[in-house]
Amino acid sequence: MRASAIASAVLTLAIVHLPAATQPADARQVFEQGQQALNGGDLAAAEKAFRQVLAGDPNNVGAHGNLAVVLMRRREWKRALAELRIAERLAPRMTGIRLNIGLAYYRQSDFQHAIAPFESVLRDQPGSKQARYLLGLCYFFTERYAETVQTLEPLWAEESGNLNYLYVVAIAAGKAGKAELDQQATARLAEVGRDTAELHLFLGKGHVAHAEDDQAMAEFEQAARINPKALFVHYYMGTVYRRRNDLERAKEEFLKDVAIEPDVAYNYDQLGIVCYALNQIPEAERYFKQALRLDAGLGTSSFGLAKIYKEQAKYTEALSAIRAAAAIDPQSASVHYLRGQILYAMGRRTEARPEFDEARRLQQATRDELERKISGQRVSDPQLTREEQ
């Protein structure tokens, strides 16, 4: 099967709670209160309890780990990772900590950094279904297709009724030259998917990946006929219209998807890119900001804001935005070039020169993933880290 994107894991991405270490009765009681608050969704009370435990016992592994869970629930990834790294140092053999480290990276779509912790969990616990599934997806997202197949194939008996799993295995097998598995997964995909909107969405995404826009649009239109409110169908129709440079219709489709699911950051990211191309700058700025409110890890939106602020001579804001983009994608030639332009415009020419040099080096040495997303050559999948409820 020809395609190159996948929905999020079918698993519920269960964040691991950690037990209290041996401690005095009072501290243990406070820890248990924090655990109950966390289980009940009272994050403020949970944080207060775990910090109280840590005030008396700074090396309490469970308190660090569960404080990290609180922060992960709030999507405060950097602070969560800081707590998890402390817990990992205190208890390096505890796989639950490393699983949460992987999850924290995965939730930020930082699949490259999620691989090592997931690999370590699977080495220690070969039967961990969650670690295996997520590691397979991380290999897939980083285009390591043979390893994707090797990691995910053992889950066939449990997951062969799941479209997402079948889709990934079919694509990875095709890319890895495993024709028999490709055919098996594709046939099973058609069998399970039947004539549903979801199946046509997957087929259309496959055509998008190979720039077969007419075939993709036919599949998306069929999906929309079956279910006009099918998730992500209008998003992908927007990506096809955008590649055809039919920007007004692309905007219409992204807005349709916003009406169906208003919390998907990628819609606003694409709306920002489209509105910028249409010279609708105030709208573009608003959409980029909304995208970043929903997902601070969208480098394309930070890059878009940096361009807007540079053109408005708001150089301090532009520099802040391009720093955010650089933190997300430090290997982007486009980011370094724009940062050089901003510094040059600010009169900081000594600092600008190495940015231009680095941009030239990266253009020759690497593939600019951020530029591929900005240009539409690579379509971001809004289902990548969508959590199943």
Q: Is residue 183 part of a domain?
A: no
Are 271 and 332 in a shared domain?
no
Check residues 362 and 315 and name the one with the higher pLDDT. Answer: 315
**By mean pLDDT, which of 61-75, 165-179, 371-385 is the weakest?**
371-385
Q: Is residue 258 part of a domain?
A: yes
Token pair of 338 as six digits? 């724009």
**Residue range 95-109: mean pLDDT, rounded:** 92
pLDDT of residue 14: 53
> What mean pLDDT value characterizes the chain?
88
Boundary residue ending a domain (227, 262, 296): 296
Whether 18 shows a pLDDT value over 80: the answer reads no
Query: C-alpha distances in angstroms, 109 versus 17, 106, 115?
Result: 22, 5, 11
Boundary residue ending a domain (296, 330, 353): 296
Q: Is residue 46 part of a domain?
A: no
Boundary residue ending a domain (263, 296, 329): 296
**Residue range 104-108: mean pLDDT, rounded:** 88
Are 351 and 260 in a shared domain?
no
Token pair of 257 as six digits? 């998807």
- Whole-angstrom distance, CA of residue 23 vs CA of residue 27: 6
Q: Which long-range contacts (CB under 8 A, 24 or more apart) does 342-347 make?
A: 342/306, 342/310, 342/315, 342/318, 343/319, 345/310, 345/313, 345/315, 346/315, 346/319
Percentage of the residues of the chain whose pLDDT score is greater than 90? 70
**By mean pLDDT, which of 4-18, 106-120, 182-196 is the weakest?**
4-18
**Residue range 85-108: mean pLDDT, rounded:** 94
User: pLDDT digit string (tens) for 49-93?
Assistant: 999 999 999 999 999 999 999 999 998 888 999 999 999 999 999
Do 171 and 6 contact (CB within 8 A), yes or no? yes
- Whole-angstrom distance, CA of residue 52 vs CA of residue 58: 10
Q: Single out the residue of 320, 272, 268 nearest to residue 291, CA to CA.
A: 268
pLDDT of residue 283: 98
Are 214 and 234 in a shared domain?
yes
Token pair of 346 as six digits? 């600010």
Q: Is residue 222 part of a domain?
A: yes
> Interhelix angle for 179-193 vs 197-209, to 10°?
140
Check residues 109 and 314 and name the one with the higher pLDDT. Answer: 314
Q: Is residue 30 part of a domain?
A: no
Do 352 and 341 contact (CB within 8 A), yes or no? yes
DSSP state for residue 154 in the 8-state scheme: G
Cα diameter, the chain: 67
Token pair of 151 as six digits? 């990691």
The parent domain of residue 310 ranges over 300-375
- Whole-angstrom distance, CA of residue 81 vs CA of residue 102: 10
Q: Is residue 249 part of a domain?
A: yes
Are 338 and 256 in a shared domain?
no
**Residue range 80-109: mean pLDDT, rounded:** 94
Are 318 and 346 in a shared domain?
yes
Whether 24 shows a pLDDT value over 90: the answer reads no
Number of domains in the chain: 2
Q: Is residue 49 part of a domain?
A: no
Q: Give the pLDDT band of residue 384 (cuts 50, 70, 90).
A: very low
- Whole-angstrom distance, CA of residue 100 vs CA of residue 13: 10
Q: Single out the residue of 131, 18, 8 nearest to residue 70, CA to CA.
A: 18
User: pLDDT digit string (tens) for 327-372?
Assistant: 888 888 999 999 999 999 999 999 999 999 999 998 876 665 666 6
Residues in contact with 225: Cβ distance below 8 Å, sequence separation at least 6, in sequence order? none
pLDDT of residue 11: 37
Query: C-alpha distances in angstroms, 274 versus 46, 296, 332, 338?
Result: 42, 19, 21, 19
Are 268 and 245 in a shared domain?
yes
Residue with tokens 């939106």: 301
Are 209 and 288 in a shared domain?
yes
Do 9 and 97 contact (CB within 8 A), yes or no? no
The alpha carbon of residue 304 and the mean position of all alpha carbons in its chain are separated, in whole angstroms, by: 18
CA atoms within 13 A on the CB side of 130: 18
* Residue 39, SS3 per DSSP: helix
pTM for this entry:
0.77
Domain CATH for 369: 1.25.40.10
Percentage of the residues of the chain whose pLDDT score is greater than 70? 87
User: pLDDT digit string (tens) for 243-299?
Assistant: 999 999 999 999 999 999 999 999 999 999 999 999 999 999 999 999 999 988 888
pLDDT of residue 364: 77
Element (H, E) at 155: none
Whether 383 shows a pLDDT value over 60: the answer reads no
Are 284 and 327 in a shared domain?
no
pLDDT of residue 94: 93
Element (H, E) at 296: none
pLDDT of residue 337: 95
Are 365 and 290 in a shared domain?
no
Q: Single out the residue of 386, 54, 78, 118 nearest to residue 18, CA to CA.
A: 54
pLDDT of residue 378: 61
Are 251 and 232 in a shared domain?
yes
pLDDT of residue 374: 63
Q: Is residue 182 part of a domain?
A: no
User: pLDDT digit string (tens) for 133-143?
Assistant: 999 999 998 88
User: pLDDT digit string (tens) for 229-246?
Assistant: 999 999 999 999 999 999
Are 288 and 371 in a shared domain?
no
Residues in contact with 165: Cβ distance below 8 Å, sequence separation at least 6, in sequence order? 10, 133, 152, 155, 159
Query: C-alpha distances in angstroms, 122 versus 83, 89, 97, 98, 371?
Result: 22, 19, 13, 10, 34
Check residues 109 and 128 and name the one with the higher pLDDT. Answer: 128
Whether 26 shows a pLDDT value over 70: the answer reads yes
Are 264 and 324 in a shared domain?
no
- Whole-angstrom distance, CA of residue 304 vs CA of residue 287: 10
pLDDT of residue 385: 46
